[in-house]
Amino acid sequence: MSETLFQKIAARQIPAAIVYEDDQVLAFRDIHPQAPVHVLIVPKRVIPRIAEAGPQDQALLGQLLLKAAEVAQILGLANGYRLVINNGPDGGETVPHLHCHILGGRHMAWPPG
Ligand code: 5GP
């Protein structure tokens, strides 16, 4: 299996503005930000998308959300933020390595586009 784009970022083969890293997750700034703060948080162990996650991924998925909240705090998003996971073509997924978008720094409209 070839490495995903986000594995290459984690391996420092592709540069990115990394804002947080531990043994399980990596967080870095999105290259095409959709808000003043737009960070992706990614589990280092590849799950292609949330639809392909299973019971064996339960702890990692919980960790991803808890770390997303921690990273949002580190980023100073005290007034709120939005977490987004895109799944499949209709969900707008473009990188097949599960990731959660952390969007903040402006008011987020609802419904989303
Ligand atoms: P998705 O559309 O799969 O939910 O999100 C993928 C995200 O990865 C997009 O927001 C896109 O801008 C971002 N992205 C794609 N290529 C790169 C890259 O090389 N570096 C960084 N930092 N972000 C990327």
Tell me the pLDDT of the chain (113 aa) as tens digits: 699 999 999 999 999 999 999 999 999 999 999 999 999 999 999 999 999 999 999 999 999 999 999 999 999 999 999 999 999 999 999 999 999 999 999 999 999 98
Domains annotated for the chain, with CATH where assigned, are: 5-104 (3.30.428.10)
d(CA 101, ligand 1 centre) in Å: 9
Query: Is residue 38 flagged as an active site residue?
Result: no
Q: Which of 38, 97, 99, 101 is catalytic?
A: 99
Q: What are phi and psi of 25, to 5 degrees?
A: -135, 160
* Residue 100 contacts residue 64 (beta carbons within 8 Å): yes
Write the DSSP symbol of residue 51.
G
Long-range contacts of 55-59 (CB under 8 A, 24+ apart): none
pTM of the shown model: 0.98
